[in-house]
């Protein structure tokens, strides 16, 4: 019997199998690179929107709907906005420590939303608090703005 007849025509050689494995790893790496590039683009667009654009009617409408839904559910507080703590000038430390000067650390749309609160909502009895809502790796992650309409005590 000849050598080629003894070998299994379905079986890959070890070299061929290693080559296949490398090709599959390369395809997976390329797919991961595409995902990372899409995520980086999405993040860059978010950063650009946060720092260069203004709070629009769409965002105001979303805040209104969130508040109305919370009120309909019998709540007196709702998280109306969130953003990365790294967007604060102090990476969220003043908010995390509940320092009275925390609004001075805001930038971009967060500052604009705070200013809108002061101008529009505060005169109507609303309160706003900012809190760190996540702590990845033990460090401040995202900041949440909570609008409150609870009746004053006393």
Domain-wise residue ranges, the chain = 14-52, 57-148
**What is the reported pLDDT for 47?**
80
Local structure of residue 119 (DSSP, 8 states): I
**Cα separation, 37 vs 35, whole angstroms:** 5
**What is the reported pLDDT for 3?**
53
pLDDT for 36-60, tens place per residue? 999 888 888 888 888 888 888 999 9
Euclidean distance between the first and the last CA atom of the chain, given in angstroms as a whole number: 101
**What is the reported pLDDT for 127?**
96
Is the pTM above the cut of 0.85?
no
Whether the CA torsion 42, 46, 49, 54 is positive or negative: it is positive
Residues of the chain with pLDDT under 70: 1-9, 154
Query: Which strand ranges, in their side-by-side order, compose the sheet holding 127-132?
Result: 77-84, 142-148, 127-132
Cβ contact 108:51 at 8 Å? yes
**What is the reported pLDDT for 6?**
57
């Amino acid at each position: 019997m000849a050598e080629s007849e003894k070998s299994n025509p379905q079986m890959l050689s070890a070299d061929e199998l290693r080559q296949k494995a490398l090709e599959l790893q390369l395809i997976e790496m390329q797919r991961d690179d595409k995902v990372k590039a899409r995520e980086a683009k999405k993040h860059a667009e978010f950063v650009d929107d946060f720092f260069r654009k203004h709070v629009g009617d769409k965002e105001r409408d979303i805040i209104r709907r969130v508040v109305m839904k919370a009120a309909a559910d019998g709540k007196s507080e709702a998280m109306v906005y969130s953003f990365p703590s790294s967007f604060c000038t102090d990476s969220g430390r003043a908010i995390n420590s509940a320092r009275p000067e925390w609004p001075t650390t805001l930038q971009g749309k967060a500052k604009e939303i705070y200013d809108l609160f002061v101008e529009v909502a505060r005169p109507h009895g609303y309160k706003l608090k900012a809190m760190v809502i996540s702590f990845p790796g033990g460090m401040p992650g995202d900041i949440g703005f909570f609008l409150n309409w609870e009746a004053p005590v006393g």
